[in-house]
Amino acid sequence: MKNSLNQLTPERLWFYFSEICKVPRPSKKEEKIASWLIAFAEKQKLDWFKDECGNILIRKSASPGYEKHKTIILQSHMDMVCEKNSDTRHDFDKDPIIPRIEGDWVKATGTTLGADDGIGIAVQLAILEADNIVHGPIEALFTIDEETGLTGAFGIKPDLLKGRVLINLDSEDEGQLFIGCAGGKDTVARLPLIFEKAPAGWPSYEVRISGLKGGHSGDDINKGLGNATKLLNRFLWNADKDFGIRIASLDAGNLRNAIAREGFAAIVLPPAKANAFETAAEVFQNDLAGELHVTEPGLKFSVSITTAPSAVWIKDLQTSVLNALYACPHGVLAMSREITDFVETSTNLASVKEKDGKVIMTTSQRSSVESSKKDAADMVGSVFRLAGAEVEHSAGYPGWKPDPDSEILRLTVKSYKKLFGTQPEVLAIHAGLECGLIGAIYPGMDMVSFGPTIKGAHSPDERLNIPSVNKFWDLTLEILKEI
């Protein structure tokens, strides 16, 4: 295993990816990476602009002889999903990501790598710096807050971009070209967090589930992965029914666009039920291992004696939360009738948290059909309203309707076949891309999205395939030369 990326080629691409890993860039906290990009532009003597929203645009003139070629927009997002293993000490606001090489893959150390979309940024910077790459006029657009709200794409003004051809550098499967994506919205439910004194003399346990793969709530929703929020709640719901447990705290999942990997609860129960409870926990662990051994071989479920809490949730709150989480759907709701093996509509039960005097249950819905997206959100919202929760839906973002006759698509397919001798797949993606919003702001924008292979995005298992980065780079340069 080697930790340095400086041995990899293209050298400048990997240099910039390594440098990007050093710059903290959580969603909604992109100030440091934005300042870093501006410093880069000034060093390269390139025109740059920061809009009201915080997006950065860097322009580069055409190579000699390419002045009449079309302006092409290269687009990525600045922010990254900040997930870490529970035993990893890392402050995403301050600490650098530590990449390492294992075989053909680049990984981080206990955290997300940020190849989504740091590798897209690195491609843009290497092209902007180079004096030996031929291209027409380039606009390099770096948006903010793609991962938690698409705020940057929402805030783009119609007069920002001159080009009308855009390559989105934010896809995660080499050999696949994307020309459409799902739209999405969030549904968040809140219940007042009310405590009462814990029963005296009741034994206390921590219930914990960990070791799940997690993953992207769009790309990975159809892979049969375990959801820590659902699985933990399943155990607690039955323990409530069978043993009369009382919940002192509950925390599962994290980000709205990630499948929950870990969760824990602190509970108490009547002393006479303790032995049966421990036996039930062993049975449940074996049940999960049997159900999920293929997709979740690292799953861990445990109960352990812990310090007695001073307070527990009132019973009505506990009943409402457990029933709502059990009834709340998670996973694929509908497959496309038009595209083979393509998820049309899904929902992700992302997390349950205690915050600001509330129990907050966060979900996200995706669909390539606008009416189905609304239906999914309404269905999830109705579950929480039945539990008496206050429900809020986000405004959401639109999908990107595929255009199989796209000029940039034809050129990209032609370039791919020329370079690699094979036909790329042309697909729509169930994940959200900023192309939907950009297309709404610039009607007629000709767009395609592609990238290298990234596995385990939005989880600490995120890894970037090195050979696919070379192909990603070569394809981008070929398109710049030919457009």
Active centre residues (catalytic): 79, 146
Helices (H) and strands (E) in the chain, counts: 11, 23
Contact by Cβ (8 Å): 304, 285: no
Residue 247, SS3? strand
Could you tell me where the DSSP H helices lie in 108-213? 115-129, 151-155
Contact by Cβ (8 Å): 362, 350: yes
Peptide bond into 10 cis (omega under 30): yes
Label residue 170 exposed, middle or buried (CB < 10 Å: 0-12, 13-18, 19+).
buried
* Dihedral sign (CA 227, 251, 25, 29): positive
Residue 325 phi/psi, 5-degree rounding, is -65, -35
| Residue 108 token pair | 């981080």
- In angstroms, what CA-CA distances link 70 with 63, 157, 166, 256, 336? 12, 21, 11, 38, 35
Contact by Cβ (8 Å): 51, 160: yes
> How far is C-alpha 359 from the chain's CA centre?
23
Angle at 259 between CA 253 and CA 262, to 5 degrees: 40
| Residue 139 token pair | 């606009």
Closest CA to 173 of 453, 462, 427: 453
Alpha carbons 462 and 194: distance in angstroms, whole number: 38
Label residue 154 exposed, middle or buried (CB < 10 Å: 0-12, 13-18, 19+).
middle
Q: How many residues does the chain have?
A: 483
Amino acid at 108: A
Going by their DSSP bridges, the two strands 204-210 and 331-335 should be labelled as unpaired
**For tokens 């009369």, what's the residue?**
244
Q: What is the DSSP string of 177-204?
A: EEEEE-EEEEEEEEEE--EEEPPTT--E
